[in-house]
Structure 1
Amino acid sequence: MDSNLKATYAGRMNEVFTYIDQHLSGDLSLEKIAGVAHFSPFHFHRLFKFITGETPGEYVQRRRIEKSVSLLLHQQKSVSEIAHVLGFSDGSAYSKAFKKFYGISPSAFRQEHPYRLERIQFPNSKIGHEYPDTDAYLRKLNHLKAWINMEAKIEVKEIAPIEVAYINCTGPQNLAATFQQLISWAAPKGFFVPNSKMATVYYDSFKVTPAEKVRMSACLLLESTLAAEGAIGLRTLAGGKYIVGSYEILVEEFEKSWTALFLWMNENGYAMGDAEPFEIYHNNFNEHPEKKAIVDFYIPVKK
């Protein structure tokens, strides 16, 4: 494919993913989202499956169901409320779709799921993972509490909206190359300078979504307003109330640090808000004498 055409297609797909994220409760029919990308439904269906490995319908249904898992765990919404928020016709339709996907009803899942910080396990589901026993889980919680007390500075604060340029990617194995692509675009234009900050936005949870399907954005924080350009999208990270955990950690400690911060959120009476969690980096860990990242983790919250 011609490089200019490829960049144009990538820009249109940025708009599609953003539209889906913002309209999970609305009309996400093939015709509707193909129109967002300015493609015919037939051409869009083929292109979308080529890029994501899923049809548009499969992707939308998975996003809705996996989003509902987070709501079941971290918010006190009823099954009917979750169905409405995520675009199902009613609670019965949502429960049927959830059970088809995971082999258990959402109500049963909420009642029976004891280990919210573990990778989600569903009987007869596509996700094969054994729960730890209760004692092992409690030991893990105590370890995480001790870890975060030693390793993190935690604040709850209001932040202003943050303007970023970004490139989407799927799967952590592609994130480093996506950052390099973003830097290669920004540096010649003078947008990437020694004090520039990079960020990663997460649209899915590794606790729910298979890692190879987790969608992320590699981001560059902007000092001025720009125009979108091909594969480079522009977006605003939502302002509002966030738990901010500041760490100086090894790359292999990121998962533990996120889990500990979500534990802190739960134990301090907060529920996760509607925006996406993200990381902002304050150094290049490869240049740190101990190969550590100086990073802030942001979780949107509400009481």
Structure 2
Amino acid sequence: MHSWEAIEKTLNFIEENLTGEIQTDTLADLACLSPFYYQRLFKRLVKKPVQEYIKLRRLAKAADILDNPECRIIDAAMECGFSSHAGFTRAFKEVYHITPEDYRKSSVMLNTFNKPEISMGYVLIDEGFPLITGNIILEIYRRTLTEPEIYLGYEGAVNISEQIPAGESTGIDVPGQLWQQFHDKKDDLAGLFQDNTELGMCYGADPGSGTFKYFAGGLAIPSDISTYTADGLTVQSLEAGEYIVCRVEAESFKELVTNALDQASRYLFSTWLPKHALTTRPFSAEKYFTADKDINSLEIWASPIDTIEKSS
């Protein structure tokens, strides 16, 4: 058994036992490692200490349960391994900066910590060949955009440290809030948009402030740009050029825009591109094709920098 397989085995065990107490020694025994080496290997591969990871997965599950208005907060706490309402509230607020009660009253979206698919870091697929892992399918290929695409929507600043997978912390999901704002307004501005494509874009990283910008919007019908700005919308362009595209499919839309997007982004930017010695410009885009209701899919677009640009 490879070392990453041992850790993945314990991740599966954790998912199946979130309601009960999970001892680090038990996990180490399951991985056939000493507690010392198990904890070191776990943190290296998962990027979190063992017990912190367990807490984050419990809180992510609890957030899902709280979306059901019929479930009491104490029931969500108990179902996710917390022994008291007070302890659950304290942990929830510490991680998400909002209490469970306020979360239920509001329409905010949370940036939760998903179970990682460690095996993806050890598999290198060729262009045009799919990779199936967990509940997702992904495929990477190249695409040329001959004309720029104009999108209209809303943008906001996101703290890098609080946006998985760019950072490793959790909190309010700012991109999710921007998508909600866009969809709330889209019907009122229907004459400005084509029906079939929406775009999320990360760009404008500012290391000084620790933020980047995120844009959420739809493909625009060609028009005078003053029409767009008059409605308070931000205009963004997906420029013509060569792109590396990672297509992702998942079993549900919620799975697609949370776990699948997270795992595919990690694989593309942390494994596939470095293994192919490819560098990309400081932006990425997520394309959603809303016309096909039967397939939950998206594409992650990255713009590679060629050898001439790198050396100049």
TM-score scaled by structure 2? 0.43
TM-score scaled by structure 1? 0.44
